[in-house]
């Protein structure tokens, strides 16, 4: 599995979010429930127009799926880098100036985010010996290619052990 460690300057994303608490009920992580809840949430954003509202003010074409624990609860956000403020956005998610594990990939719009997160948390992070993920937001971005596929990367802040 290819990955790299890159230093990234701090950046902020604006997003609409949903709590994923139900997917962690009973102390177990239900990855199928998480994927289903995210898909339902994102489809709702398209249906109610908030997806396009965010895309209109985005600085670039990157679409982000952001995961973080906020106020003790797991959250997922659809987010973009914005050129202007959106009054009804759920929150601004601040990524730290840090080293990041970066894993790139290509796939379809529906599965790229989960594919990269699965590789990161299932394979790469457990095998790292020199760096550790100690929390904070992690984000996956995607951009559509000319052939209709998507390319993107997951960014996970890490610290040296």
**What per-residue confidence (pLDDT) applies to 22?**
67
Task: Provide the total of helices (H) and of strands (E) in the chain, helices listed first.
Answer: 4, 9
DSSP state of 85: -
The Cβ-side half-sphere exposure at 96, using a 13 Å CA radius, reads 14
Indicate the length of the chain as a whole number. Answer: 161
Of 105, 86, 102, the C-alpha closest to 138 is 102
**What per-residue confidence (pLDDT) applies to 23?**
65
Domain coordinates in residue numbering, the chain? 4-160
CATH class label, 4-160: alpha beta
Of 73, 66, 88, 77, the C-alpha closest to 41 is 77
What pTM was computed for the model?
0.91
Contact predicate 67/139, CB 8 Å: yes
Query: pLDDT tens for residues 124-141?
Result: 999 999 999 988 899 999
Which residues are CB-contacts of 135 (< 8 A; sequence separation ≥ 6)? Answer: 69
- Which residues of the chain carry a pLDDT beneath 50? none
**What per-residue confidence (pLDDT) applies to 29?**
72
DSSP labels for 103-115? EEEEE-TTTHHHH
């Amino acid at each position: 599995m290819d990955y790299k460690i890159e230093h990234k300057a701090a950046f902020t994303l604006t997003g609409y979010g949903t709590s994923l608490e139900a997917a962690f009920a009973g102390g177990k992580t239900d990855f199928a429930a998480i994927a289903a809840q995210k898909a339902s949430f994102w489809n709702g954003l398209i249906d109610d127009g908030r997806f396009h509202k965010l895309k209109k003010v985005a600085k670039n074409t990157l679409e982000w799926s952001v995961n973080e624990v906020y106020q003790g609860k797991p959250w997922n956000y659809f987010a973009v880098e914005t050129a202007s403020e959106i009054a009804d956005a759920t929150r601004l998610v601040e990524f730290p100036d840090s080293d990041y594990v970066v894993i790139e990939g290509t796939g379809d719009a529906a599965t790229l985010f989960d594919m990269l997160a699965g590789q990161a948390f299932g394979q790469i992070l457990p095998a790292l010996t020199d760096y550790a993920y100690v929390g904070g937001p992690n984000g996956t971005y995607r951009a559509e290619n000319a052939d209709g596929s998507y390319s993107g990367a997951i960014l996970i802040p890490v610290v040296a052990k």
